[in-house]
Structure 1
Amino acid sequence: MPPAAPLLPLLLPLLAAARPEAAPHRPTFACGGVVSGESGFIGSEGFPGVYPPNSKCTWKITVPEGKVVVLSFRYLDLESDNLCRYDFVDIYNGHANGQRIGRFCGTVKPGALVSNSNKMLVQMTSDANTAGSGFIAKFSAAEPHERGDQYCGGRLEKPSGSFQTPNWPERDYPAGVTCSWHIVAPKNQLIELKFEKFDVERDNYCRYDYVAVFNGGEINDAKRIGKYCGDSPPGPILSEKNELLIQFLSDLSLTADGFIGHYKFRPKKLPTTTVPPTTTTTPSTSSSKPTVALCQQKCKRSGTLESNYCSSNFVITGTVITAITRAGSLHATISIINVYKEGNLAIQQAGKSMSAKIVVVCKQCPLIRRGLNYIIMGQVEEDGRGKVLPNSFVMSFKTKNQKILNALKNRTC
């Protein structure tokens, strides 16, 4: 967490604009408030000093009738957490019971956030522990786009259907749009989702334009299946229960072709066929769908680091930063410590940080937990995700293992 004092010279011009009545050497912000006008600034309580613990501050922003609110963070420094569970800023459409546009924490600023009306609500919550310098953000009024053919979102209850970005396929999607599709199946069914075409402004963190998919019927980061941008369609998605929410957001800058996606309902339990006992080896198909026979095997790691190294497509060490159970498998994101054997594993890089997606086909075997470090060996699917089967080699990573792995890396298989 950067100290508050060095921020002051950099932020005085912003703070003076935000609070002209405050003395330039002691600028302060209150906890929440009601603000209106063509533009202005809001900031966390006491910014740029450390914000207080155990607080909840709410700002209600109103711009002139007929316009929309655009919020741009100039500085953000809150306790960091993958799911933003502890200290966070929530942004909502409207002033009451509005749809949440996003939740933010850490130090990575989101792109411009756009409301669907002339009202926006900003709420910052802090817990009892780690704090930071908080945030400062500028709000301004912008002309809304003509909705017409740009209308999007809604509730989808038919057994199958499609959804697409505004203007698809004739033109790029417009800037400053938020769409939410809520898909609801009967209680005993699940929802399968596939994107046919996909082109959304690319960014390493998908901060500006993105599609987010959630289990259930509300925007809740703890239930987020994924957040997507760029020009590669996400892989097929299967809901945990009978509801999915798809959110699309574009900011006020670059746009792209957009996407079209399709969904269909399917029974919770698919009929299982009898599998001969000989099919307990690695399946030749690239599917990550677990089979009953495969996941009933005894979960015991066989062989050694050395014996498994050459038979694996990829070998990495890393920290599990997300782990989501989906259709009997565990979908995890690994923050990479070292790559010893890459194969066709898709590795994403954002600054100095690298990450990869893996699927543990049988969610309990091998068992991995969020926040812990592992050596992971496995195969690679066609989409570049790592695939870990019960007979794949996975073990806790200790620094003493590094010497062996470095030696293996220099060995020719």
Structure 2
Amino acid sequence: MYDHSGSHMRQRRALMSKFCDQRSGCVAELNAASMQVPEGKVVVLSFRFLDLESDNLCRYDYVDVYSGHANGQRLGRFCGTFRPGALVSTSNKMLLQMVSDANTAGSGFLAVYSAANPNERGDQYCGGRLMKPSGTFKTPNWPERDYPAGVTCSWHIVAPKNQIIEVKFEKFDVERDNYCRYDYVAIFNGGEINDAKRIGKYCGDSPPAPVFSEGNQLFIQFLSDLSLTADGFIGHYKFRPKKFPSTTVPPTTTAPPTTTRPIPLKYSAALCQQKCKRKGTPESHYCSSNFVITGTVITAVTRGGSMYATISIINVYKEGNLAIQQAGKTMSTKIVILCKKCPYVRRGLNYIFMGQADEEGRGMIAPHHFIMAFKAKNQRAFNMLKNKRC
């Protein structure tokens, strides 16, 4: 199935078709190629040509690339004609696995692999396995020029078993899109790409809030498509003890026990005793607000004197430091209304939220911030907010 010529691997479509035709009831064909370079090096794989059956979810014909072996971390799944950037393993081994069904077929692919030093940085690739107590990761070309189009970078950060990992972005500028569909950074708990363990997906020009792993491993993936690029980013990580001391104020004995961290924003009881009356307009609050979004209240739970709400986002006008999670095409965020009845929101209704984000990326809404009911007919007026200069 593959023509091994030096470091080249080539799929031959005619050979594949003949093999499939000779099998009664052939449904799929699976082929794998294992790559290994000398100990102490990493594998760099580049696709020179890619033409497989196109599908948004790559369900039919696709190529999987793994660091190490099939049970290791998957660096990506590819189909169609989009040619990804260079892929870098976190060890001296890499596995390429192709699956094709018996229906639509493409011309195949041509890929080349080579050996590189783990910390080597080239214009077209990046990534690797990071095991030092602290370190830095960045997009190719940083800070001299924009990151390249069509690049994929994967960093696997591994701490000792009794420690967790903190990640902070010093500078961040990745092609902006409300759904982060084109260029993005995705961070996962564990050592592989797994949507069930995804912490967040980020793009735009606002650095994400600091990220803490649940265990001793994090996987960071950066992907750029073949169109627009931007400055890129530089991020830092460091290992922390698993139970590092909290800087927030412990909850009072009158508050019910909760797994949610206490609100770090200090406010007095008098804040919630004043008369609740909305003042100003979206335009007058826009510049003073850290974030501005419209969304639907999915959950609203009262804890102590505050309300904790999950918002399904309709539109983002100003992201600020707000931590936005994405699952498929759905974006959501967490908002705390400091005084549960001011402003008052109801589950299932749509609102525009304008407030401040705390150091963990949660939205904080105080009585003097701005919330109002949102209706589709107001969409055009709110779109003008994006053009407002502050």
**TM-score, normalised on structure 1?**
0.49
Matched, 1:92 2:71: no
Q: Residues 202, 74 of structure 1: CA spacing in aligned structure 2 closer, same or farther, 3 A cutoff?
A: farther
Of the three residues 216, 221, 225, the one matched with 1:247 is 221
Equivalent residues of 1:58, 1:121 under 8 A apart? no
Equivalent residues of 1:275, 1:293 under 8 A apart? no
Of the three residues 6, 11, 19, the one matched with 1:36 is 11
Q: Which runs of 5+ in 2 are unaligned?
A: 1-9, 18-26, 34-43, 89-93, 287-291, 300-307, 323-328, 342-346, 383-390
Distance in 2, matches of 1:316 and 1:169, equals 31
Shift of 1:269: 4.1
What whole-Å deviation, never above 9, does each CA across 1:69-126 have from its counterpart, x for those lacking one?
A: 3546774366xxxxx9xx7987521684464244699xxx99533564997435699x
Three-state SS of the structure 1 residue aligned to 2:245 is coil
- Structure 2 match to 1:8: none
Equivalent residues of 1:41, 1:138 under 8 A apart? no
Matched, 1:236 2:210: yes
- Structure 1 match to 2:233: 259
Shift of 1:36: 1.4
The root-mean-square deviation of aligned C-alpha atoms, in Å, is 6.1
- Structure 1 match to 2:83: 112
What whole-Å deviation, never above 9, does each CA across 1:206-238 have from its counterpart, x for those lacking one?
A: 444432111222210121122234444333222
Matched, 1:140 2:115: no
Distance in 2, matches of 1:88 and 1:374, equals 39
Of the three residues 358, 363, 386, the one matched with 1:387 is 363
Equivalent residues of 1:374, 1:394 under 8 A apart? no
Alignment-mate amino acid for residue 235 of structure 2: G
Counterparts of 1:274-289 in structure 2, within 5 Å, are none
Distance in 1, matches of 2:147 and 2:216, equals 29
What whole-Å deviation, never above 9, does each CA across 1:115-172 have from its counterpart, x for those lacking one?
A: 64997435699xxxxxxxx997664325669955326333323332211234434455
Distance in 2, matches of 1:255 and 1:39, equals 38
Q: Residues 318, 172 of structure 1: CA spacing in aligned structure 2 closer, same or farther, 3 A cutoff?
A: closer
- Structure 1 match to 2:55: 76
Distance in 1, matches of 2:265 and 2:172, equals 35
Q: Residues 156, 142 of structure 1: CA spacing in aligned structure 2 closer, same or farther, 3 A cutoff?
A: closer
Three-state SS of the structure 2 residue aligned to 1:222 is helix
Distance in 1, matches of 2:348 and 2:217, equals 31
- Structure 1 match to 2:20: none
Distance in 1, matches of 2:152 and 2:161, equals 28
- Structure 2 match to 1:318: 295
> Size of the alignment, in residue pairs?
301
Equivalent residues of 2:75, 2:192 under 8 A apart? no
- Structure 2 match to 1:221: 195
Equivalent residues of 1:92, 1:98 under 8 A apart? no
Q: Residues 73, 387 of structure 1: CA spacing in aligned structure 2 closer, same or farther, 3 A cutoff?
A: farther
Alignment-mate amino acid for residue 65 of structure 2: N
Q: Percent identity?
A: 47
- Structure 1 match to 2:245: 270
- Structure 2 match to 1:335: 314
Q: Residues 40, 355 of structure 1: CA spacing in aligned structure 2 closer, same or farther, 3 A cutoff?
A: farther
- Structure 1 match to 2:5: none
Shift of 1:361: 4.6
Matched, 1:191 2:165: yes
- Structure 2 match to 1:159: 133
Q: Which runs of 5+ in 1 are unaligned?
A: 1-34, 43-55, 79-83, 126-133, 281-287, 323-328, 348-353
Equivalent residues of 1:211, 1:227 under 8 A apart? yes
**TM-score, normalised on structure 2?**
0.51
Equivalent residues of 1:75, 1:136 under 8 A apart? no
Counterparts of 1:301-380 in structure 2, within 5 Å, are 307=277, 318-319=295-296, 334-336=313-315, 358-361=333-336, 374-375=350-351, 377=353, 379-380=355-356
Distance in 1, matches of 2:199 and 2:309, equals 11
Equivalent residues of 2:293, 2:314 under 8 A apart? no
Three-state SS of the structure 2 residue aligned to 1:76 is coil
Q: Residues 266, 40 of structure 1: CA spacing in aligned structure 2 closer, same or farther, 3 A cutoff?
A: farther
- Structure 2 match to 1:121: 97
Three-state SS of the structure 2 residue aligned to 1:191 is strand
Equivalent residues of 1:345, 1:356 under 8 A apart? no
Equivalent residues of 2:298, 2:310 under 8 A apart? no
